[in-house]
Chain A
Amino acid sequence: MANFISTNLISSRSELNKTHLRIFVVAILALALVVPQANSFDIKDFENKIVERTLENGLRIIVLERRDAPVASLVTYANVGSSDDPKGFTGMAHVFEHMAFKGDQEIGTNNYAKEKIAIEAEEEAFLAWRSERNKGSLADSVKLVNLEKTFRSAQDECDQYVVTNELGNIIEREGFVNLNAFTSMDQTCYLYNFPQNKLELAIMLEAARFSNPVLREYHKEVDVVKEERRMRIESSGIGKLIEEWLSASFKAHPYGISGVGHMSDLGNYSREEATAFFKKYYVPNNLCLIVVGDVNAKDVFKFAEKYFGDLPKGDPIELIHTVEPEQLGERRVVVEDPAQPFWLVGYHVPNSQHADKPALDALVDYLGNGRTSLLYKKLVKETKKAVNVGALTGFPGNKYPGMAAVYAVNAKDVSNAEVEELVLGEIEKLKEAPLPEEEMEKIRARAKASFINQLESRVGMAIQLGSYEMIAGDWRELFRELDRINSVTGDDIQRVAKKYFTRKNRTIAVIETVDS
């Protein structure tokens, strides 16, 4: 149904306008057909409200008009994540996410011409300092002190031209809320909610920061990211555990490499490397703009064309070709930490495009979702060995084969060995027989409820649409998920449990509590 919307490339402004008109009329007609009535909800109708456009330079735009309040959410979905970090520069995608809030040649500076010179001097000082530092034990200690001094004063020199966080200031002043961004292994998303009359500003600011960003306060922001690492990983038992667990699970694929980056890499970035990263990945053909809310799709397309239209198309981005080899046997990770015990297992599973994905989704739902799940009943209610359990799939990403993970939060004074025996015992039971039809029905009912629930959040919908568009190649795939879950059988559950949840294919990671 939604195919009536043109996905053709647009070659000129006038043609664009004609297309707009057509889309607009068709969209109005489509909306007229789906006036909401109590208890007559059809997911298909919802899907039909979504329109899309691709600019000539490859930028994709998806719009879901929603009139219940005069607000909208904008998500800029960059199809680049931590798994794209260059070797030796772990954390790069995430650092760039931070840098995207620093402005451009107009926003964020009081004198760009002078700032540019100061930044170049700072960078030169940084490179000199870094190259001495990276001589390791052969570095000249006196030189090092002086080089750092030079770098620090070059940094101070830059400061006078900076209007700190001006981009953020504009966004906040104009009433945008929930300004944020996140970087995962697969993606980098920039999000905010805005009053619907500021659509043009929203798109203009997005274009500004991705057209020609200035990497101002660059090394300081890297310091900020280091603090983020200390907070999320180094001062958190579970943070450390997950980092160790991923690195044990993936020896070849970058899913195993720290997304926030290693401390020594973080201190080592230059602007040149960051710019190269930006130029490669932040090209319009690797971006998707999604707007959900009280806007007219034609306006979104118009402003996108106006502000993003001149961006040159980049080279196509290829997927990472590295394939994680089959595991040769069970792997185990122990993190000794003063934190309380925690137990976690991961099984390698295919990516989200694979035919087994729906069955795996259903399986983890049955295993660890809610108080009636297999593991909650056994570990929490029955034996009280854990105080919570959970299961998920597609971790740490969906673009490439990732993991299905199961975890348990041990009750006080309960060892990891006890938890492990119980969890693995329950998993084995899944392999013995097909899941009964009555359990399958519950899984389907829950999937339907959670699917409809997720439609409520504007920003949540925007991220989902972007994610399906960029990873699955079509946002419509989001609306096929329910059909896919509905077609999973009890035999499928048994089959995928046997196929993937094997000893050989798993990595177990635990926190063993020690005194600090």
Chain B
Amino acid sequence: MIYREMTRKGIIVKTIMRLSGVVAITALSILTLPCAALADQGRVEELKFPRLNKLQVPEVDKIELDNGIRLYIVEDHSLPLFNISIRIAAGSYLNPAEKVGLAGLTGQVLRTGGTSKWSGDEIDERLESVGATAETSIGLVSGNAFGGGLIEYSDLVLETLSEILRNPSFDQEKIDLAKTQTRAGIARRNDNPMQLASSEFSKIIYGKESPYARQTEYATIDAVTRADLIEFHKKYIHPSNLQIAVWGDFKKNDIIKDLKKYFGDWKATGETAPPPPEVDYDWSSGVHYAPKTDVNQSNIYIGHIGGLVTDEDYPTRIVMNNIFGGGFGSRLFNNVRSREGLAYATGGRFDANVTYPGRFFGFASTKSETTLKAIRAVKKQMESMITEPPTEAEMSRSIDGYLNSFVFKFDTRSEVVNRMVTYDAYGIPADFLNQIKDKVEKVTPEQVVEQAKKDFQLDKLHFLVVGNGADFDGSLEELGLPVDTVDISIPSPESDSDIENTPENIEKGRALLLAAAKATGGVDSYKKIKSYSRSGNLTMSMGPQLMTMSATIMVELPDKQVVTILTPGGEMKIVFDGSQGWQTMGGKTNPLPETEAQSSKKDMARSLIAIFGSLDNSEYTPVYGGSGEESGHSVEYVYLIDEAGDELIKLALDATTMIPVSSHFFGTTMAGPAAIDLVYGDFTEVDGIKIPFKESKSTGGKQFQELTVSEMKLNVNVPADAFAKP
């Protein structure tokens, strides 16, 4: 119905637009450049377009089952295919703060974790052996289950999805697999700078803890249990939270029968999810710099909070956005990309969501050396929206473009039926899109300027740059706002929660460390050590290869260290002077990233000499951590924790001899932060102290580094310039 109206209007609308465009330009704008007259008038404008063929509106049948499931059905006989899409009214915004990742994990393991009838692997086999699919996921504000295949497998797909949604078994092994996959995703999230910039910008706009910006962390995914998944499913995945859309090569009545068969007798009850929380936006401004030294291109976001789809201004914003930063001929594209050659990727909009405000932003990715230039270029286009009214060509591109391409909102069955599902879910009227279209048609250049004045708060902008600051074309301070540094390092998993910080355990932990110090030489001998130097071979695994290099590690307690490694490419020195670190090789000196410098400081505090030598005045508290077994030894565990309660190291002492066997801590590997297991061996006496001459490090059961000491000296003369930065 609405579509017929649209096609009829199409022609008329176009004529009106041409006329109003002409009126607009004479009445309004001398600002337009004279050269903006359309050069294509001679050719393109001569073309007469025939009437658009009538759109056969895909008819959607809506039926509600007795249990509350709403069905949306479209027959489509063009190809022998079957499709189903199920909307689930629950999202990750429902996650408790300490279990971010729960909804996503539920969405994944619904499908992979099997049902009471089939295991997850059996489902894989049933579907893939005939080229059919069934998948589930839960996103920010809603979940989705979809499936499809050749029409002869519609029953298989329906039965599978019904089983998955109704009787999931959340097999623990598949939960573990999903967690492994999530952890890999977390570890990789800084690998795509553009995606990283977008996530960080959301954190600035919505707040780090906001459901609209927070990210799954190792600690929050670790905290999710199978019981949580079962509860989430029970609470939210039930008939009254579901809408099912099907389209394909079937007869309506047949598919209704099938849907009733698989979903009709589902009587489960649960809750209606509370609506997504509102955003309480704090109008502030600032410059945010996220250092990423391994890229040569900056990703820039500039903006603030945006609006809602249901805002009265939404239609005007569609026109405004098209002119500002949407598509091939927008101001950002024309100027930042084509005219200035500053970026390949650029764009922007005053974005809108249905349930919570979108973001207003201008975006560009540009080489490090033109970062400030690009920031100014993007900002300038924001300003231009307020100071320079749209030209006739811009209005035409934006409005005619919207109207002329309106048919593409109906060119596939799936978008028609899925849009209806979404509109129903949010109580948006069925003719919403046509209402918008009617309003878009009438937008004037003046309204666009007014809208930009109202929406673009250019004195309250946030600027985010993800990039390599050393190569920028100036200082971000030139933007005249306070600059803060965004920490993009990925938080390590939290320490084991089995530390019981009781006075008894602290006392016992201290006693064990004293005993261990005594067993290896005595606390007094350790206290006398002010510096030491170890030389030997350092073997590292580089992929499939092992590489052995000679190395010397010189330490001045408590926190200065020089590591000298003879690499195939020459001598490399890694120095930490107590406050900062750097690396020197081939005459070139590069600063160590802050995280790595801090990590080498912690490495020094983890050495046995540092632990035993500072028992009286340590900033770490020893806590007894129970007993266990390691490499054939019965061991007693002692944790060292800092004031914040974070774990420095978990030390395993042989229960009989009190000699250290191994230690466990969260440190740095070539592949990034990881849980590391260090095994001590080959204890050799040096000046009355038994010192491990072999230290091998592994992670996830795989050894990646081994240090074999050939010479150890205590209280060495540290050269005066050892810690002088070149």
- A residues at B contact (CB < 8 Å): 36-39, 41, 66, 68-71, 101, 106-111, 159-161, 163-166, 168-177, 179, 193, 195-198, 200-201, 204-205, 208, 217, 219-228, 230-231, 234-238, 294, 334, 337-341, 370-372, 380-381, 384, 387-388, 409-418, 420, 441-442, 445-450, 452-453, 455-456, 510, 512-516
14 contacts between A and B (CB under 8 A): A106-B40, A169-B328, A197-B51, A201-B47, A220-B341, A230-B344, A231-B344, A237-B191, A334-B543, A340-B188, A340-B672, A415-B704, A452-B80, A456-B81
Given known contacts A37-B77, A449-B130, A449-B150, A169 and B329 CB-to-CB distance under 8 angstroms: yes
Query: Is B406 part of the binding interface, using a Cβ–Cβ cutoff of 8 Å?
Result: yes
Give chain B's interface residue range (CB within 8 Å of chain A): 35 or more
On chain B, the residues within 8 Å of A165 by CB distance are 328-329, 333-334, 338
On chain A, the residues within 8 Å of B401 by CB distance are 172-175
Q: Is the CB of B79 within 8 A of A452?
A: yes
On chain A, the residues within 8 Å of B188 by CB distance are 339-340
Q: Which of B79, B149, B329, B410 contacts A41 (CB 8 A)?
A: B79
Task: In the complex, identify which listed stretch (B52-60, B439-447, B512-520, B618-626) lies at the interface while the others stay far away.
Answer: B52-60
A110 CB → nearest B CB, Å: 4
Q: Is the CB of B184 within 8 A of A412?
A: yes
Which of chain A's residues has its CB closest to B174's CB? A381
Which of chain A's residues has its CB closest to B49's CB? A197
Q: Is the CB of A172 within 8 A of B55?
A: no
Q: Is the CB of A235 within 8 A of B296?
A: yes
A302 CB → nearest B CB, Å: 13
A119 CB → nearest B CB, Å: 15
Q: Which of A204, A388, A448, A456 contacts B79 (CB 8 A)?
A: A456
On chain B, the residues within 8 Å of A414 by CB distance are 700, 702
Q: Which of A231, A411, A452 contacts B81 (CB 8 A)?
A: A452
Q: Is the CB of A68 within 8 A of B78?
A: yes
Which of chain A's residues has its CB closest to B345's CB? A231
Query: Is B132 part of the binding interface, using a Cβ–Cβ cutoff of 8 Å?
Result: yes
Q: Which of A38, A106, A236, A338 contacts B39 (CB 8 A)?
A: A106
- B residues at A contact (CB < 8 Å): 7, 34-40, 42-44, 47, 49-56, 76-81, 112, 121, 124-125, 128-132, 149-152, 176-177, 180-181, 183-188, 190-194, 249-251, 292-297, 327-329, 333-335, 337-345, 365-367, 393, 396-397, 400-401, 403-408, 410-412, 541-544, 593, 596, 668-672, 674-675, 699-700, 702, 704
On chain A, the residues within 8 Å of B400 by CB distance are 173-175
On chain A, the residues within 8 Å of B341 by CB distance are 217, 219-224, 227
In the bound complex, how far is the Cα of B541 from the Cα of A334, in angstroms? 13
Interface centre among B80, B186, B704 (most CB of A within 10 A): B80
On chain A, the residues within 8 Å of B404 by CB distance are 173-175, 195, 198
Given known contacts A172-B327, A172-B401, A173-B401, A370 and B53 CB-to-CB distance under 8 angstroms: no
Given known contacts A195-B407, A226-B367, A448-B150, A372 and B125 CB-to-CB distance under 8 angstroms: yes
Q: Is the CB of B367 within 8 A of A227?
A: yes
Given known contacts A107-B39, A166-B39, A227-B342, A372 and B329 CB-to-CB distance under 8 angstroms: no
Q: Is the CB of B55 within 8 A of A70?
A: yes
On chain B, the residues within 8 Å of A341 by CB distance are 671
B192 CB → nearest A CB, Å: 7
In the bound complex, how far is the Cα of B669 from the Cα of A338, in angstroms? 11
Given known contacts A381-B121, A415-B543, A515-B596, A231 and B365 CB-to-CB distance under 8 angstroms: yes
A106 CB → nearest B CB, Å: 6
Which of chain A's residues has its CB closest to B395's CB? A173
Q: Is the CB of A227 within 8 A of B39?
A: no
Q: Which of A107, A109, A175 contacts B407 (CB 8 A)?
A: A175
In the bound complex, how far is the Cα of B56 from the Cα of A415, in angstroms? 56
Q: Which of A381, A411, A510 contacts B184 (CB 8 A)?
A: A411
On chain B, the residues within 8 Å of A514 by CB distance are 670
Q: Which of B52, B151, B338 contacts A70 (CB 8 A)?
A: B52
In the bound complex, how far is the Cα of B154 from the Cα of A39, in angstroms? 12
Q: Is the CB of B128 within 8 A of A446?
A: yes
On chain A, the residues within 8 Å of B343 by CB distance are 224, 227
On chain A, the residues within 8 Å of B367 by CB distance are 226-227, 230
On chain A, the residues within 8 Å of B37 by CB distance are 110
On chain B, the residues within 8 Å of A410 by CB distance are 184
Q: Is the CB of A38 within 8 A of B670?
A: no
Q: Is the CB of B297 within 8 A of A235?
A: yes
In the bound complex, how far is the Cα of B702 from the Cα of A417, in angstroms? 10
On chain B, the residues within 8 Å of A173 by CB distance are 396-397, 400-401, 404
Per CB-CB distance, the 7 closest pairs between chain A and chain B, nearest first, are: A175-B404, A449-B131, A223-B341, A168-B328, A110-B35, A220-B341, A175-B405
On chain A, the residues within 8 Å of B186 by CB distance are 412
On chain B, the residues within 8 Å of A171 by CB distance are 328
Q: Which of A193, A231, A370 contacts B128 (CB 8 A)?
A: A370
B589 CB → nearest A CB, Å: 15
In the bound complex, how far is the Cα of B32 from the Cα of A350, in angstroms? 58
Which of chain A's residues has its CB closest to B674's CB? A413
B343 CB → nearest A CB, Å: 5
In the bound complex, how far is the Cα of B329 from the Cα of A168, in angstroms? 6
Q: Is the CB of A170 within 8 A of B44?
A: yes
On chain A, the residues within 8 Å of B702 by CB distance are 413-415, 418
On chain A, the residues within 8 Å of B406 by CB distance are 175
On chain A, the residues within 8 Å of B675 by CB distance are 413
In the bound complex, how far is the Cα of B53 from the Cα of A59, in angstroms? 28
In the bound complex, how far is the Cα of B53 from the Cα of A66, in angstroms? 12
Q: Is the CB of A413 within 8 A of B671?
A: yes
B414 CB → nearest A CB, Å: 10
Given known contacts A110-B35, A449-B131, A452-B80, A420 and B544 CB-to-CB distance under 8 angstroms: yes
Given known contacts A164-B334, A235-B296, A69 and B410 CB-to-CB distance under 8 angstroms: yes
Given known contacts A175-B403, A231-B345, A384-B177, A220 and B397 CB-to-CB distance under 8 angstroms: no
On chain B, the residues within 8 Å of A39 by CB distance are 80, 151-152, 249
On chain A, the residues within 8 Å of B150 by CB distance are 448-449, 452
In the bound complex, how far is the Cα of B29 from the Cα of A242, in angstroms? 51
Given known contacts A175-B406, A334-B543, A413-B671, A201 and B49 CB-to-CB distance under 8 angstroms: yes
Q: Is the CB of A196 within 8 A of B124?
A: no
Q: Is the CB of A513 within 8 A of B77?
A: no
Q: Is the CB of A223 within 8 A of B342?
A: yes
A259 CB → nearest B CB, Å: 15
On chain B, the residues within 8 Å of A170 by CB distance are 40, 44
On chain A, the residues within 8 Å of B365 by CB distance are 227, 230-231
On chain A, the residues within 8 Å of B674 by CB distance are 412-413
Q: Is the CB of B129 within 8 A of A442?
A: yes
